[in-house]
Amino acid sequence: MREQLIREVEIIPLEVVVRNVAAGSLSQRLGIPEGEVLPRSIIEFYYKKDELDDPMVSEEHITAFGWASPPEIDDIMSLAVRINDFLSGLFLGVGIRLVDFKIELGRLFEGDMMRIVLADEISPDSCRLWDIKTDEKMDKDRFRRDMGGLLEAYREVANRLGIMNENEPVRGKGPVLVSSNDD
């Protein structure tokens, strides 16, 4: 439960945002009321550059500056759509609407082959998750908008997904040494 298989990828310098419902910067930029269901899912690209506040870019910028090739953009978009379909269903099944999310991707080299893979965490830190019945926010917006109840919301998401026991303490006692070569 505490082990991970890590693969090294060449990270693509893009943040890929998939949106199903208007919120956040989309609502601000285009004046679409938060909560309005979009006519279809929308994929946006942002250039990963903290100093510039991750500006939005188009496929033209991405190909002209060589951040990704046209076939790679196709792969990125179809992966983003598949991830959106999978996650939307997963969250819907536990009464949560997936409003939007951000992912990053990387190039995984295997011998002569290269494929683009998801290279990011998916958590309420990078998704907007609203309760399907009440529209209550269950994500980082609670922190950004100073609403409180962040830990409770994150626990509720984990509980509903069945990945955390309801009675489990939020913070454990820290790592425990289970074997040592010294003795």
Angle at 31 between CA 87 and CA 153, to 5 degrees: 40
Count of residues interacting with ligand UDP (CB under 6 A): 14
Positive or negative, the Cα torsion across 82, 6, 59, 26? positive
**Residue selected from 45, 91, 101, 130 as contacting ligand UDP according to rule CB under 6 A:** 101
Choosing from 13, 24, 122, 123, the residue that interacts with ligand UDP (CB under 6 A) is: 24
140 binds ligand UDP (CB under 6 A): yes
Residue number closest to ligand UDP, CB atom? 24
Q: Which of 13, 32, 43, 54 binds ligand UDP (CB under 6 A)?
A: 54
Does the protein bind ligand UDP through residue 45 (CB under 6 A)? no
Binding region for ligand UDP (CB under 6 A) out of 18-26, 61-69, 153-161, 165-173: 18-26
Closest CA to 122 of 110, 107, 105: 105
Instruction: Figure out which of the listed residues 22, 68, 128, 142 binds ligand UDP, where binding follows CB under 6 A.
Output: 128
User: Does 102 contact ligand UDP by CB under 6 A?
Assistant: yes
Complex with ligand UDP: residue 11 or 114, whichever CB lies closer? 11
Q: For residue 34, state whether it binds ligand UDP (rule: CB under 6 A).
A: no
Sheet holding 37-47, edge to edge: 56-57, 37-47, 14-21, 96-103, 127-131
Contact set with ligand UDP (CB under 6 A): 15, 17, 23-26, 54, 100-102, 126-128, 140
